[in-house]
């Protein structure tokens, strides 16, 4: 039984301090300049008082191209889905919703008494609310559900929606995940 609550490599660092550049634990410097003028870990080292990378400009990376699910795969998934899964897939592919937005749809958000029908998306990215037209296929899929009179349409977390959609697609032999459904919306609708 070892008295140290560390792995072997971590314990070895304590006994090799003089052979390491940074001591037993790696260090890093957050601020560009230290407010006290010295590095308290290495007061004698004048070069260790600031982060030399702090003034470097972060390179801008090019945006990647969307990778939508194939239309044939989407059709196959919608055909083989039970009603709730069909709604989730349709909301993502035909109305561009994220898993978080699908999970938190409330009955009051489905404005299906108007023509055309609309959907209020409250749990959007950055907590931004928006109203989107409800695609006719989505409206039909929602009407096929036993929708409650009030409250959330389903008791599901965003993580659960993501996991179940991904699992369903993979069980159908489709290599995509939930997010390419949103890419399909962005490139086709």
Span 83-109, mean pLDDT? 96
If you average pLDDT over each of 24-33, 40-49, 81-90, which comes out highest? 81-90
133-180 pLDDT per residue, tens = 999 999 999 999 988 999 999 999 999 999 999 999 999 999 999 999
39-56 pLDDT per residue, tens = 777 777 776 666 666 667
* Residues 132-144 as b or e (16 or more Cβ within 10 Å = b): bebbeebbebbee
59-72 pLDDT per residue, tens = 887 888 899 999 99
If you average pLDDT over each of 24-33, 73-82, 109-118, which comes out highest? 73-82
pLDDT tier for residue 13 given thresholds of 50, 70 and 90: low
101-123 pLDDT per residue, tens = 999 999 999 998 888 899 999 87
pLDDT tier for residue 17 given thresholds of 50, 70 and 90: low
Predicted local distance difference test score (pLDDT) of residue 15: 65
CB-count burial class (<10 Å; 0-12, 13-18, 19+) for 36: exposed
Cβ-Cβ contacts under 8 Å for 67 (sequence gap 6 or more):
180, 183
Predicted local distance difference test score (pLDDT) of residue 157: 95
CB-facing half-sphere around the CA of 157: CA atoms within 13 A: 3
């Amino acid at each position: 039984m070892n008295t140290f609550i560390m792995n072997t490599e971590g314990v070895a660092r304590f006994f090799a301090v003089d052979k390491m550049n940074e001591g037993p634990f790696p260090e890093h410097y957050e601020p560009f300049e230290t407010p006290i003028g010295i590095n308290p870990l290495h007061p004698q080292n004048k070069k260790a008082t600031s982060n030399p990378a702090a003034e470097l400009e972060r390179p801008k990376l090019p945006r990647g191209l969307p990778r939508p699910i194939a239309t044939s795969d989407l059709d196959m998934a919608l055909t083989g889905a039970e009603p709730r899964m069909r709604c989730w897939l349709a909301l993502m592919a035909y109305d561009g919703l994220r898993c978080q937005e699908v999970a938190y749809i409330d009955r009051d958000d489905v404005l299906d008494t108007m023509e055309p029908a609309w959907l209020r998306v409250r749990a959007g990215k950055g907590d931004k609310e928006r109203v989107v037209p409800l695609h006719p296929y989505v409206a039909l899929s929602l009407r096929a559900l036993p929708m409650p009179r009030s409250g959330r349409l389903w008791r599901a977390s965003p993580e659960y929606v993501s996991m179940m959609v991904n699992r369903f697609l993979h069980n159908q032999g489709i290599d995509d995940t939930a997010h390419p459904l949103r890419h399909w919306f962005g490139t086709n609708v």
